[in-house]
Structure 1
Amino acid sequence: MKTSNVFLSLCIIPFLIFNFSSFTSLSKMGKNKLYPKLQIYSENLASNFETIDEERKLKLQEIGDYIIKQKESSEKVDVTVICTHNSRRSHFGQIWLQVAAYYYGVEGINTFSGGTEATAFNSRAIAALERVGVKLEKTTAFEGEENPVYSMSVGKNYSKTIMFSKKYTHKQNPQNGFAAIMVCSDADKNCPLVMGADARFAIPFEDPKNSDNTPSEEQVYNERCQQIGTEFFFVMDYVKTKLNRK
């Protein structure tokens, strides 16, 4: 009888230890969650990499290599996504690169956006993001700005982000030691040198503005939102895969 009890205890204790460890791990994983609708959309982005051509994948991998190199020497990586007016594509880029980092569990990624000039965060781009589960609300939390300011939220317990149209040199953005991603041809052409950046990448996307006030407007914004999301998810998938191999 005593022998049986001892044997049973030896079997149960490791089981309990394993399951407590697993429960703790699962609890940590569940602490931060994307909003359900955004989670589903993110899963679709992560399964859509076949839509990216091979030449473009090589350019996106260069961004990934930069992020990996920075993470090897620092706890944080700053990335500023830049287009001319900081109204559409650069905001898409900032949000999707950050969401991708959350989705893949790549810590220390801080994303920003800016333009070579400031206009406004376009309402059509905002609507496209809201349709897929990103929450954007006007806020007065950042005083002194003429342009509308928004609070962006992507899920439970993730920090909210203040977003508005601004020059890439704005005080809210990093001033040095960051990567600059140029997402429009005009900004790439007219801003060959990004002050303070220690790396610069050109990944242009077609401007959805060309569809404004046309019957295809919503469809085009949805497509551009998805394309930028897919490509920046590809970057973070690449980073996660490479880091796991180290």
Structure 2
Amino acid sequence: MLLKKVKNTIEFLKTKKVSSDRKQTLQSLINYIQSKVNENNNINLNFICTHNSRRSHLSQVWAQAVAYYFKIKNVHCYSGGTEATTLFPMIVQTLEQSGFKINKLSECESKNPIYSIKYTQEEHPIIGFSKTFDNLFNPQKKFAAVMTCSQASTNCPFISGAEKRISIEYNDPKEFDNLSLQKEKYQELSIQIAIEMFYVFSQIKTI
């Protein structure tokens, strides 16, 4: 069962619309997921952005939670970057605002802490930390590389093991860091991604 506030947030997404242009952008991701459902195969999605600090984590977490909401089985969501940095603290706060229960698993001197991100009572939590897209924590074959920023698309001309490369780019909220609108803009991006992941998985037909 989804955590109550996470479920309430997802229920809120039902009222939101996705533009025609974004629907076209998201169709490749829908097609990939549907093909895996049709074959009863695992659905491995690796969301990739340059630093694996903001957009890729939001995409990973929302995709996993919404897939669970729609009861799409065998969905495994990951994230990575062209370089490893850190999961930006405002992303943690933003996800907590939507009801996710987050605990820092590594403390003290680590510049790249590891987080447990819970969206249900019974499922294993998502493990969140910054890493390169080819880190051994991520799938090495039979996955879709879902590019969430233009820099990653440009800097990653080839991703080993990926069955499909899909671009669903989002604007970088980093430009609002240390400004009065920071919290608001991060929340806007999180909800935008949540709405689009809701749309994607709402289109999947199960047998």
Scaled by the length of structure 2, what TM-score is found? 0.95
Q: Who is 1:61 aligned against?
A: 27
The whole-number CA distance in structure 1 between the counterparts of 2:156 and 2:13 is: 30
- Tell me the CA shift for residue 146 of structure 1: 5.6
Match runs of 1:207-246 below 5 Å: 207-239=172-204, 242-243=205-206
Match runs of 1:51-130 below 5 Å: 52-130=18-96
Of 175, 185, 190, which aligns to 2:150?
185
Of 117, 121, 124, which aligns to 1:159?
124
- Tell me the CA shift for residue 73 of structure 1: 2.3
1:41 counterpart = 2:9? yes
Paired residue secondary structure (2:87): coil
More helix by share: 1
Match runs of 1:133-172 below 5 Å: 133-140=99-106, 147-172=112-137
Paired residue secondary structure (2:9): helix
Show structure 1 runs of 4+ deviating over 3 A: none
Paired residue secondary structure (1:170): coil
Paired residue secondary structure (1:56): helix
The whole-number CA distance in structure 2 between the counterparts of 1:106 and 1:98 is: 10
Cα RMSD after superposing both structures: 1.5
Q: Who is 1:30 aligned against?
A: none
The whole-number CA distance in structure 2 between the counterparts of 1:236 and 1:94 is: 13
* Uncovered stretches (5+) of structure 1, i.e. residues with no partner: 1-32
User: Deviation digits for residues 203-229 of structure 1, max 9, x if unmatched?
Assistant: 110001110000100100000000011
The whole-number CA distance in structure 2 between the counterparts of 1:201 and 1:97 is: 15
Given that 1:180 and 1:201 are in contact with CA atoms closer than 8 Å, whether structure 2 keeps it comes out as: yes
Scaled by the length of structure 1, what TM-score is found? 0.80
Which structure has more RCO (C-alpha within 8 Å, separation ≥ 6)? 2
Instruction: Tell me the percent identity.
Output: 37
Paired residue secondary structure (2:206): helix
* Uncovered stretches (5+) of structure 2, i.e. residues with no partner: none
Given that 1:61 and 1:238 are in contact with CA atoms closer than 8 Å, whether structure 2 keeps it comes out as: no
Paired residue secondary structure (1:205): coil
